[in-house]
Amino acid sequence: MSETEPKSVTEPKAGPEQLVLDLPHRPALALEDFLVGPSNEAAVALVDAWPDWTARAAIVVGPTGSGKSHLTNVWRLKSGAGSIPATELAENAIGEIETTGALAVEDLDRGIASERVLFHLLNLTKEKGFALLATSRIAPGDLEVTLPDLRSRLRALPLVRIEAPDDHILKAVLVKLFTDRQLTPEPHVVGHLALHMERSFEAAQKVVEACDQLALARQRKVTRPIAAEALERVRTSGLAVGKS
């Protein structure tokens, strides 16, 4: 090669992706961490009204990842209530509500282990003034309930819904989910995700998880290219999180 010929420059090869350990992260579930907007203000108002509930039992209905568990945790902090998944409902729940005076029964849509116990718990809210907060992904009228009296009682419960998030809440949820994982993407990255993903809380969780995995694997920040790849990765995995 002559001195006048330019030397070729070799592009540095991308390093191998780092091994990513699937370690659990701990979401922030305190009152100040709950994001309030038009989609969830009715549910927030219900919790804020405690302990001055006219009816002593209520149900919060919302999609996966919409904040039902977070809101339940806030109510538990205020009321001192215990919490039992509906799939684990048994006789001990009666002792629990009699001890604390309040109980959360979560995820009725996943199955109610003992319909008789739940019916008894609802009776206790009327007879002794105990409080019960139930959560579900679907409305009480759509639940598979065998016991006729329980079916009627559930349908009569005051119901508040958590709806799909508006643009402001969706972006705020994305920021919170990233913060829970100690990630701080630029605002334009969050905006790109919000623009191109399905408007749901479940989608936000899946996309942020994919961004986290890609960023860890490549030892980079969450950039717009990583965000775009995360959207595509989640979309091709069969989850409906991308806009059609």
Query: How far apart (Å, rounded) are the C-alpha atoms in residues 104 and 72?
Result: 7
Long-range contacts of 230-236 (CB under 8 A, 24+ apart): 230/193, 231/193, 231/196, 231/197, 231/207, 234/203, 234/206, 234/207, 234/210
Residue 71 pLDDT greater than 70, yes or no: yes
Residue 68 pLDDT exceeds 80: yes
Measured between alpha carbons, how far is 230 from 63 in angstroms, rounded to an integer?
Answer: 22
Please give the structure tokens belonging to residue 121: 């718990």
Domain boundaries, the chain: 36-161, 167-235
Structure-model confidence comparison of residues 108 and 66, the more confident one:
108
In the chain, % helix, strand, coil (3-state, to 5) comes to 50, 10, 40
Continuous segment of H or E residues that includes residue 228? helix 224-236
Number of DSSP helices (H) and strands (E) in the chain, helices first: 9, 5
* Amino acid 238: pLDDT: 62
Provide mean pLDDT across the span 34-57.
Answer: 88
Strand ranges, E, within the chain? 57-61, 82-85, 102-106, 131-136, 159-161
Question: Which CATH code of 3.30.750.24, 3.40.50.300, 3.30.70.150, 3.20.20.70 fits the domain covering 36-161?
Answer: 3.40.50.300
Element (H, E) at 146: none
Q: How do residues 98-155 score in pLDDT, each as one tens digit?
A: 999 999 999 999 999 999 999 999 999 999 999 999 999 999 999 999 999 999 999 9
Q: Considering the chain, what is the average pLDDT of its residues? A: 85
Query: What's the CA gap between 242 and 244, in Å, rounded?
Result: 6
Percent of the chain with pLDDT over 70: 83
**CATH no., domain 167-235:** 1.10.8.60
13, pLDDT greater than 50 = no
